[in-house]
Structure 1
Amino acid sequence: MKTVHRNAVKPLVSCGIVHTTDRPHLSIIIPAWNEEAALPLTLDSLLTVLEAENLRDRSEIVVVSDGSTDTTVAAATASLKGRAEYVVVDLARNVGSHAAIRCGLSHASGDHIVVLSADGQDPPDTIPPMLQKLESGSDIVWGLRAGRDNDPFSKRASAGAFYRMFRWLTGLEYPPSGLDFVGFTKQVNSAVSQYTERNLPLFLLIYNLGYSQAVVPYERAERVAGTSGWSFRKRTKLAVDMITAFSAAPIRLVSLLGVIVAFLGFSFGLLTMIRAIVTDIPVSGWSSMIVLTSVMSGTILLGIAAIGEYVWRSLDETRGRPIYLERDVLASERPKDP
């Protein structure tokens, strides 16, 4: 099978793998950042499942290298060339997994779409039952983890605390096992493409679109190779994005906190005046002033920080900069109907 550069050859012409229709039945999106070790193993496992289920000739695999600095692009191309219809997108810089997935969705042409992790933790053999539910009428099918036993206790505890806080702040549901393995129809993909925010928590958006949903339980595996790039900083940013994208609760909480602090301040001032007029008890000086100043300063800084998150996101949107830039797109040539 010949590989073509899509930015150099338009449109793609027929050659290579034979489909029953011009458009593939299934598109599998795999975002990858520095996954040269894990990605070939994941693709081998995926292709084995597709072959066993007679899906290989009706599927396309879209790998998005999220600004990788290793040989992820070469590893993806070498693993897929001659074995499946594929698109390998090389992004110019790292933009995050959710933006990389959105890039992959723009290249997906299948009737059904599945998002799969590159590290092998999402088992490819879960895809056939997910596809069955999509073909049975569900618009969205989630791979639901049976548990988080493979995660450290600290990660499980912090995730559980965040999900409870998130539901309290936004009123939205979010499964405690997380959302990151999903399949959906092209209609859902079309709906997702209408959302253009830069800092968009993609899976949370899909979960709350309103389309019919189903779940397929699965056991999340260990990473097949390499180390995770899902750092604490990235998890924190996603958490803030999730809250600010779907709720104004932080600003309202800051407003409420301001009212409470102001009430306490006025009450303390009134109490101080009464004590000075009615009693001979001397007014507290230095210590009280330091405590009040610290509380007020902390409250003001907290309010500025919360409002600043929303202001920064508004500024980020008004700039109109592209969410991602594609350095190159490598693709197998798509066949036409015989």
Structure 2
Amino acid sequence: MALISIVVPVLNEEEAVPRFFARMAAVQRRLPDHRFQYVFVNDGSTDRTIEVLTSVDKPRNSELVILDLSRNFGKEAALTAGLDHATGDAVIPIDVDLQDPPELIPKMLDAWVAGYEVVVARRASRSSDSWLKRKTAHAFYATHNRIAEPRIPHDVGDFRLMDRKVVDAIRRLPERRRFMKGLFAWVGFRTACVDYVRGTRQTGKTKFSGWKLWNFALDGLTGFSTVPLELAGYLGFVIACLSFVYGAALVALALLGRIDVPGYASMLTVILFLGGLQLLSIGIIGQYLGRAYMESKQRPVYVLRDVLKRSGPVEEAAVARGAGQLDLTKPAGPA
């Protein structure tokens, strides 16, 4: 009987947790040959998420592990924490807002049993997203796959099934600034794909603002490609060549006595153009330098305040607290 770990990062989701467990209970009843472990990662919630998790009716014959982070570290860090503590033969990250349907899990398990080590869930339709989000998401995937390696599949999020060997490979990667979609693709393994239509969020509001999504995209591009640095160098070389040709032409015209009185507007335009390119190049270099700086500190990806476990029914379970109040275990360490 295989153990399936469901990893769920949460931030202020007190209303969504009971609905999520209700849907998962129905899914579990369709899978009597599998045991389930739920690993919830509380990413600095300020509402009653922890209280709800410790008292909610979870599905029968399942274990609940609650990782309480010391503050909000972000979804990528929370997902890392969940993968570090999931002990299942297969691990499935999923959002608690039910936009990714738990009912797809049996189909993913069928592909896993058939021999696939990764089963990704691809959004066949993004109709639940706004027009702007659909266009920017398409632009990101197209840009990333053109300049970065490895390619990441279009319209595939964190919702996927991973075999234990895949999770162990990801945990050995030492990055602190993590772009999990890229890391999932980087490790490879035999991959199957199942399509689904993504629904609307059932409760609460999204925690990703436009600014956070922009920075998330930058992490994805700079974490897996040096093409922006190369483009800055090529652009500088081309402009230097054009400047040399322009300067030579001015010298030739001066020697022939055909040069006009220098114009203020044209000179100012050239100065501003070159200055803007220099600042752009410095900004690109700064992105990579900042990543190297953050990695050089070797701080842990997350800090645990507490670990709580429930293995029996609510009325019989005692909440067991972890021995260490601050778990500084790095994600690259052994389970």
TM (norm. structure 2) is 0.88
Question: Is this contact kept in 1: 2:250–2:259, CA < 8 A?
Answer: no
Question: Is this contact kept in 2: 1:32–1:118, CA < 8 A?
Answer: yes
- Secondary structure in structure 2 of the residue aligned to 1:179: strand
- The aligned counterpart of 1:160 is 138
- Secondary structure in structure 2 of the residue aligned to 1:216: strand
Correspondence list, 1:226-237, <5 A = 226-237=204-215
Correspondence list, 1:277-292, <5 A = 277-292=255-270
- Secondary structure in structure 1 of the residue aligned to 2:7: strand
Question: Is this contact kept in 1: 2:122–2:154, CA < 8 A?
Answer: no
- The aligned counterpart of 1:75 is 52
Cα distance in 2, alignment partners of residues 141 and 192 from structure 1: 15
Cα distance in 2, alignment partners of residues 131 and 184 from structure 1: 10
- The aligned counterpart of 2:234 is 256
- The aligned counterpart of 2:41 is 64
Cα distance in 2, alignment partners of residues 274 and 76 from structure 1: 79
Q: What residue identity is the alignment partner of 2:75?
A: S
Question: Is this contact kept in 1: 2:24–2:59, CA < 8 A?
Answer: no
Are 1:296 and 2:282 matched, yes or no?
Answer: no
RCO (CA 8 Å, sep 6+): is it higher in 1 or 2? 1
- The aligned counterpart of 1:325 is 303
Q: 1:136 aligns with which of 105, 114, 117?
A: 114
Are 1:195 and 2:142 matched, yes or no?
Answer: no
- The aligned counterpart of 2:66 is 88
Q: 1:222 aligns with which of 197, 200, 217?
A: 200
- The aligned counterpart of 2:151 is 173
Question: Is this contact kept in 2: 1:114–1:184, CA < 8 A?
Answer: yes
Query: Per-residue displacement from partner, 1:237-273 (whole Å, max 9, x unpaired)?
Result: 2211111111110100000111111112112212222
CA distance 1:150–1:93, change in 2 (3 Å): same
Q: Which runs of 5+ in 2 are unaligned?
A: 313-335
Query: Per-residue displacement from partner, 1:121-147 (whole Å, max 9, x unpaired)?
Result: 010010111011112110000111111
Q: Give the drift of 1:299.
A: 0.9
How much is the aligned-residue C-alpha RMSD, in angstroms?
A: 1.7
Question: Is this contact kept in 1: 2:118–2:163, CA < 8 A?
Answer: yes
Q: Which runs of 5+ in 1 are unaligned?
A: 1-19
Query: Per-residue displacement from partner, 1:38-85 (whole Å, max 9, x unpaired)?
Result: 222122211221123226x71110010111111112222222458431
Q: What residue identity is the alignment partner of 1:261?
A: I
Cα distance in 2, alignment partners of residues 205 and 239 from structure 1: 14
Question: Is this contact kept in 2: 1:28–1:60, CA < 8 A?
Answer: yes
- Secondary structure in structure 1 of the residue aligned to 2:306: strand
Question: Is this contact kept in 1: 2:158–2:181, CA < 8 A?
Answer: yes
How many residue pairs were aligned? Answer: 311
Q: 2:129 aligns with which of 147, 151, 154?
A: 151
Q: Give the drift of 1:31.
A: 0.7
